[in-house]
Amino acid sequence: MEYIKIKNADKIVKDSPYVVNNPSVYKNKWHKEAFKNNNPIYLELGMGRGDFIIDMAKTYPNINFIGLEVNDSQMVNAINRLQKENLKNLKLINIDANEVANIFGKEIDTIYLTFCDPWPKKIDERRRFTHESFLKLYDRIFKKNKHIILKTDNKGFFAYSLETLSGYWYTFERVSLDLHHDEYPIKNIMTNYEKQYFKEGRPIYYLDAKFEG
């Protein structure tokens, strides 16, 4: 995906109190030193403009949230929205998702994959966040039990994710082929993309997958 480049985005990101600039120093210390509590930690990979992770942090103050985004201009949008907020349970990290095992020990309770790039071409399959190589990476940062929640508008990526997760011994707590028109609705906080797609009438695909080891 291509995004509008924001001038001085790197400096804006670096100076934000929400951004952890040297996240590797907190490895195995996120509870004690970064959040200063023992609440569960939920991680969103590819948070984009941050609508989802910010609203989740506001809605659930007893959960610690971390939003990870490699694109600094996208992260600036989240930082701008946070200027009038004081969320003690939210941290942002400007880093590539491939680096997660370098910045977390077995500290993560849930991973959110919300409208991440589907990488539809076969040549890019390994870049998909539900490719087996990423699932192995998540093994290194999950606590004993694993929990992945995914939302996407891309039917192909959704089908691929169902296959890779089931092949990796995850079981599905919930699967929806049209989240906003499901017979049994869930409490749902929307991302920026999701709000747009909802207006356009696109179906939103959803899965809640777990592995209890």
Q: Is 117 a catalytic residue?
A: yes
Q: Residue 26 half-sphere exposure, CB side, CA atoms within 13 Å?
A: 20
10, 55, 109, 117: the active-site residue: 117
Judging by beta carbons within 10 Å of its beta carbon (0-12, 13-18, 19+), is residue 154 exposed, middle or buried?
middle
Q: Tell me the CB-side half-sphere exposure of residue 158, using CA atoms within 13 A.
A: 20
* CA–CA separation, 189 and 150 (whole Å): 13
Catalytic residues: 117
